[in-house]
Amino acid sequence: MKRRAIARLIALTNAVVLVGACASAEAPAPSSGSQLGERTRDGDRAESAPVLDAVTPAGDVGATTTATQTAHPTDMPVTTVAPPPPPKPPTEPSRTAGAKDDAHREAVARARTFAIEDAKSKGKEAESAAATKKLPATAVTGSIRPAPDVVPTAGETAQPGGTFVHAGTNPFIDTLTDALSTFSIDVDTGSFTFARRFLREGNLPPDAAVRVEEWVNAMHYEYASPPKSQAMPFAVHVDGAPSPIARGKHLVRVALQGKKVSKAERSPTHLVFLVDVSGSMDASDKLPLARDAMHMMIDELRDDDSIALVTYAGATGVVLPATSVKNKRTIHQAIDKLHSGGGTNMGSGLELAYREAAKQLGGGRSARVVVLSDGDANIGRTSHQEILRAVKGYVSEGVMMTTVGFGTGNYNDHLMEQLANAGNGAYSYIDSKKTAERFFVHELDGTLETIAQDVKIQVEWNPAMVARYRLVGYENRDIADQDFRNDKKDAGEIGAGHAVTALYELELTSSSPSEALGTVRIRAKKPRGTRAEEMDVAISASAIKERPGDLDHDAQTAAATALAAEILRGSPYAEGRTLAEAASLLREAATGPFAAERLELARELMKVEPRVARR
């Protein structure tokens, strides 16, 4: 009876979690796993792009491949494999074939049930009760850490500093069950900058505010750029080694480096600053800092660029119509006159900003809306779905969007991130003039010049070499496997000079792989294009180093940063690891032009190490 009662409680808890997690999420179509050397349901080999030969080392940037690309039809056959034998009860959650989000939740439910039953069988009634308590608390408030073998599930939370959505934690996946891992690239960095202001003050950031991929991609790396003769606008770097952050596992890095475009080479652009001037923006780290950031950006633009200024509070208005950057003085004066007061009608403001941007689109000129806000929409349309629905047509015409967050307290991280995702842009957070200088000055050309759209990555693992795998981060960037070649499926954009890094933890079938571990496929469109091109890169056995110390400093930095983010967000896969380990690895990797950045993060992590150790 007790067991059935607990099961009913778990079922009720999962129903609540699913409602909260799915309210704003689009349910993906079922996915299908496949083996290397894809076969159709009839057993015939499906057409695929040629796989490149083994990846060759390229100095300090790991294994680098200059790849050719081939176009694939969008109606390419979906491949399947014969079902594997029934799996044994897992000690960690394992995802099965089918719709990935649903399978993820089912895995979480199985892990929860297993944790409770295991505790009961050992006579540990107290542990069972504690595990039961942790299930809904993690999803609703994010304030209680999960049991070590329970994967946190997605759910919106209000925590100190603002409103966030915990994206969950990717589980390990049996390669025989699902050999494909498909996701959208992500160049957002807002999560890292927001959390870092907590670290600097010696405080722990809200766990739901930590997204691993944004931490990893906020760091700088010395990846080689693609050769000018290559059609695809980015280089692919693949390597791996025994993991320095997960005992008994291997770590594989998949990284893209976008081609660099100089200020003189980029296309002329029209920017519409959409500035939140509501009462909530009155703090010194909000509107005053936003004004400073815009002034910096104006001084870096070219004379053939143009600016418009739209504000919103309780009402919206065009403060400055399209104005050539030749008239910098006029633009600076308009920015200086911005003051805060009133409610926050972001929806109508965004619609007006898009209309202004669309007027200047075309003739070789790009158009972009830059939203500067704390995300606290409280009048009219307030959810990102409602807001984006009103401007969907402008997005499809090619108007891009960048969101830039400011402040804490009422800060809505989820709204700012989701707006950027749906608006074909990137999300950043500004906590200081130094950060504003990085984003609006040093990395401006990457922000303004998009080199590829709807960039998707699919890794097909070789079951003969890889027993299980786990993508570290990118939980809210998951794409159904069969949508990889669906060119109507939206994905992330990459700007000039931007880098994207993804890390996988692997359990190999042998410590010394004798053949390729798998294949990385990247699919992308040209800016405003409709048909994607594809390139393939093999993860060769020679790309896997023998010792953790053989990883280059960039890979060590990515691993250390990922470990820190995993610890701070309460990932069960970081159980027993410490921020001191992450800081030590960062110090070892502190060489070259980005040494100061790595040492700075190491110092910030050590400020909160005692707090993590006590919790």
Amino acid at 302: R
Burial of 174 (0-12, 13-18, 19+ CB in 10 A): buried
Please say if the pLDDT value at position 614 is more than 90: no
Please say if the pLDDT value at position 6 is more than 50: no
Q: In what order do the strands lie in the sheet with 63-65?
A: 56-57, 63-65, 234-242, 250-258, 499-508, 466-472, 173-174
Structural domains in the chain, CATH included, are 1-30+89-170 (no CATH), 46-84+176-261+449-566 (2.60.40.1230), 272-432 (3.40.50.410)
Tokens linked to 141: 């408030």
Q: Which of 18-27, 59-68, 227-236, 246-255 has the highest mean pLDDT?
A: 246-255
Cα separation, 229 vs 214, in Å, equals 30
Cα separation, 112 vs 116, in Å, equals 6
Mean pLDDT to the nearest integer, 590-597:
97
List C-alpha distances in Å: 354 to 318, 349, 351, 392, 514. Answer: 12, 9, 5, 10, 54
Give just the sign of the alpha carbon dihedral 78, 84, 89, 92.
negative
Cα separation, 195 vs 568, in Å, equals 10
User: Which of 1-5, 173-177, 546-550 bottoms out in mean pLDDT, i.e. has the lowest?
Assistant: 1-5
List C-alpha distances in Å: 518 to 41, 536, 537, 557, 603. Answer: 21, 10, 9, 24, 37
Contact of 245 with 562, CB cutoff 8 Å: yes
Strands (E), 68-119: 69-70
Question: DSSP letters of 270-320?
Answer: EEEEEEE-SGGG-STTSHHHHHHHHHHHHHHS-TT-EEEEEEESSSEEEEE
Percent of the chain with pLDDT over 70: 73
Cα separation, 9 vs 596, in Å, equals 51
Per-residue model confidence (pLDDT) at position 338: 95
DSSP secondary structure letter of residue 247: T
Per-residue model confidence (pLDDT) at position 609: 96
Please say if the pLDDT value at position 538 is more than 80: yes
pLDDT, tens digit, 9 for 90 and up, residues 179-224:
999 999 999 999 999 999 999 999 999 999 999 999 999 999 999 9
Cα separation, 397 vs 410, in Å, equals 33
Pairing relationship of beta strands 155-159 and 69-70 according to DSSP bridges: unpaired
Phi/psi at 52 (5° precision): -70, 160
Distance of CA 267 to the CA centre of its chain: 27
**Average pLDDT, rounded, for the chain:** 79
Question: DSSP letters of 63-81?
Answer: EEE---EE---TTPPPP--
Confidence category of residue 434, pLDDT binned at 50, 70, 90 = very high
pLDDT, tens digit, 9 for 90 and up, residues 106-162:
444 444 343 334 333 433 333 333 333 222 223 222 322 333 333 555 555 556 678
Phi/psi at 82 (5° precision): -65, 145
Per-residue model confidence (pLDDT) at position 386: 77
